Amino acid sequence: MNLEIQGKVAVVTGASAGIGFAVAEELLANGARVLIVARDEGRLNQAATRLISGAPGHEKNVIALAVDVSRPEAAQLIIDQAVGAFGELDILVNNAGRAHAGGLLTSTEQDWEEMTGVKLTSMRRLCRAAIPHMQKTKWGRIVNMSSIGGIYPNPKLLVSHVLSAAINNLTKSLALEVAKDGILVNAIGIGAVATDNWANNMVPAVRRARAEFKDLSDDEVVARISAECTPVGRAGSAREIAAIAAFLASNRNGFVTGDTIEASGGADRFM
């Protein structure tokens, strides 16, 4: 499918690995110019090198900006960098953040502040900074990464799922506000997806809760949990999520907005 985004300018946060990297790769393959953002400069530069090596002749279509998106000035800095480098801003994919295992009584104030800053506050700020540029051209696409926990909450992941519900609400409300400007805003409610982020943040919690998993490898733990919780019997891949995001961010999508697309293999939980 031709996504009709040749020459469009995209910003993808949390793009040094996993889903964010896969989204950037998909957009680049469809002719977009992409600013990738992450906190770790070393990993981000490696990601940029991989993107460029996978798309010969498109070296000038990838730039990297290492910044902590939770910083108050980060959103405007990111959007200004994209517009300064490429002349416009058409697509924003908010992917920064991670899963957090724990309930209300086991989560600290620092957990709440950090997770809220990275997942929700940065998203709000980035949308606010990006939308005026999209309004100028009467065309824009925003994709916010959420979780199925925003629809089907699980107390084992309370912080993440409270914020996911807020992301879904922000997505719907913002979509209604800017639809008249030709800007479509959607979210993806992600389930169990095999990424380093998931392995680093979720697998340890699963091990603590399930003594029978103590001698299994991380891959085996993910496979067992995915088979238990997901009707399709496996975890998803970053590329599968990226394909959904790329469509929502494309010109081929002209009628889907304000929605949270469930991408969970039919599951309503993943832990």
Specify the pLDDT at position 271: 65
For residues 81 and 87, what is the distance between their CA atoms, to the nearest angstrom? Answer: 10
Q: Which residue would you say has higher pLDDT here, 265 or 43?
A: 43
In a domain, 3, yes or no: no
- pLDDT of 43 > 80? The answer is yes
Q: What's the predicted TM-score (pTM) here?
A: 0.92
- Looking at the structure of the chain, the number of domains it has is 2
pLDDT tens column, 229-243: 788 888 889 999 999
- pLDDT of 259 > 80? The answer is yes
Residue 199 sits in the same domain as residue 181: no
Residue 135 sits in the same domain as residue 174: yes
- Region 130-153: what's the mean pLDDT? 96
Specify the pLDDT at position 256: 98
In a domain, 4, yes or no: no
Residue 142 sits in the same domain as residue 220: no
Specify the pLDDT at position 234: 85
In a domain, 267, yes or no: no
- pLDDT of 263 > 70? The answer is yes
User: 159-169: b or e for each residue (b if 16 or more CB lie within 10 Å)?
Assistant: bbbbbbbbbbe
DSSP 8-state code for residue 184: E
Specify the pLDDT at position 219: 77
In a domain, 1, yes or no: no
Specify the pLDDT at position 175: 98
Specify the pLDDT at position 216: 78
For residues 186 and 177, what is the distance between their CA atoms, to the nearest angstrom? Answer: 13
In a domain, 173, yes or no: yes
Residue 56 sits in the same domain as residue 135: yes
Specify the pLDDT at position 206: 73
Specify the pLDDT at position 57: 75
Return the CATH number at 145: 3.40.50.720
In a domain, 270, yes or no: no
Residue 132 sits in the same domain as residue 216: no
pLDDT tens column, 88-139: 999 999 999 887 888 899 889 999 999 999 999 999 999 999 999 999 999 9
Residue 69 sits in the same domain as residue 137: yes
In a domain, 269, yes or no: no
- Region 84-88: what's the mean pLDDT? 97
Residue 87 sits in the same domain as residue 208: no
Q: Look up the domain containing 219 and give its range.
A: 195-235
Residue 249 sits in the same domain as residue 119: yes
CB atoms within 10 A of CB 214: 9
For residues 38 and 97, what is the distance between their CA atoms, to the nearest angstrom? Answer: 10
Residue 151 sits in the same domain as residue 215: no
First to last CA, the chain: 34
Residue 86 sits in the same domain as residue 180: yes
Q: How does residue 228 score in pLDDT terms, banded at 50, 70 and 90? A: confident
Residue 52 sits in the same domain as residue 103: yes
Residue 147 sits in the same domain as residue 54: yes
